[in-house]
A = this chain, B = another copy of it.
Amino acid sequence: MQTVKLDLAHAPYDIHIARDLLTQVELIKPLLLQPRVVIVSNATVAPLYLKSLQDALEAADIQCHSIILPDGEVYKTSETLNLIFDELLTERCERKTTLIALGGGVIGDMTGFAAAVYQRGVPFIQIPTTLLAQVDSSVGGKTGINHPLGKNMIGAFYQPKLVLADLATLDTLPLRELSAGLAEVIKYGLIDDLAFFEWLEANIERLMARETEALAYAVERCCQNKARIVAGDEKEQGQRALLNLGHTFGHAIESGLGYGVWLHGEAVAVGMMLAAFASRELDQISDDDIARIESLLKKAGLPVQAPQLGNERYLDLMAQDKKVDAGKIKFVLMRCLGESYIGELNRETVIAALDAGCSSV
């Protein structure tokens, strides 16, 4: 078992990474404030893993209740959140009852937000079952729901007590979801870890084949990178925004096409391509760099061409982003391969990037 520590002064916690962690209740039990948990999962993941988790908890005399939500980004809404509250209140869950998120990014974000605001805050644990959630969304305490006018617009910074990344749950992950997770994996290489980007170029086939050793290394490396960045800037006042590489364009794609049409990771992959094109416009990265990014994304089974929403629609959707300050949109751009920074783009550069990214490749 590998363990990455997230060193936040007020709330440090462990991220454990290994196969078959799901039933290792001895990792969970010491953290509970009362022998009672509520597991939040979805209709896809629950049939696969809920019983194992629940049996293990109950064998350790921990009372379990489960809430099964419909699966998909389209359900990451205030309506679904209210279903969680209804159930927590009907079950008379208390301030010391721990919520456990068992699922991918949507389940983790919603469960975390429910934990942040139910009775003004109850403890929660993340058990991410997708690659995307294991390398990114379960770590760092960003929680929230979507609004028809923007993704993740309502939420909280609220840290879990523990993250259990059980690599065995990736065995059942649909290929499309594996690829979506790899988009966030590749993102860490592009942010500030050229060595990891090069490791990915050499090992992408092993990851696509789900070799445990390769997956374990990638998840650990991503969590280490994320933990370092988050520990330095928990509330995203500065450098944490680097983790949004590809996300400003990506959120516009998700929101513009309708949540769930593209997976988040797919939108981020194309978002990174657009950020690369914008950076090339600024004479920062080369055609050769872009070719390497595109090649790696393609080998990871990801799209590299942006959907045709129309430039004005893209600009309008991005103007709603959380990183907007005084009307100016902030972008994460690439100074060179493996080194990103936070900057601004003028309208012409955004349009040039969109023109390059939307044209048929």
Contacts and interface: CB of A to CB of B under 8 A. Distances in A.
A149 B89 contact: yes
A117 B155 contact: yes
Contacts of A153: 85, 89, 118-119
Contacts of A89: 147, 149-150, 153, 320
A94 B85 CA distance: 28
Interface in A64-96: 78, 82, 85-86, 89-90, 92, 94-96
Contacts of A121: 156-157, 235
Given A116-B156, A322-B119, A147 B85 contact: yes
For chain A, the bracket of interface size reads 35 or more
A144 interface: yes
A94 to B, nearest CB: 5
Nearest to A94: B324
A325 interface: yes
Contact of A92 (B94, B113, B324): B324
Contact of A156 (B86, B92, B120, B236): B120
Interface in A284-340: 319-320, 322-326
A199 to B, nearest CB: 32
A208 to B, nearest CB: 34
A264 interface: no
Contacts of A95: 322-325
A36 to B, nearest CB: 8
A84 to B, nearest CB: 10
A330 to B, nearest CB: 11
A251 interface: no
Interface in A124-156: 142, 144, 147, 149-150, 152-156
A92 B328 CA distance: 12
Nearest to A33: B325
A173 to B, nearest CB: 28
A166 to B, nearest CB: 28
A34 interface: yes
Interface string A14-46: 000000000000000000001000000000000
A88 to B, nearest CB: 9
14 contacts: A34-B325, A85-B147, A90-B149, A92-B319, A92-B320, A92-B324, A94-B324, A94-B326, A117-B155, A118-B154, A119-B153, A119-B322, A120-B155, A121-B156
A-B residue pairs, 8 tightest by C-beta:
A89-B149, A119-B322, A120-B155, A117-B154, A94-B324, A120-B157, A117-B156, A120-B156
Given A85-B153, A113-B117, 12 more contacts: A34-B325, A90-B149, A92-B319, A92-B324, A117-B155, A118-B154, A119-B153, A119-B322, A120-B142, A120-B144, A121-B235, A156-B156
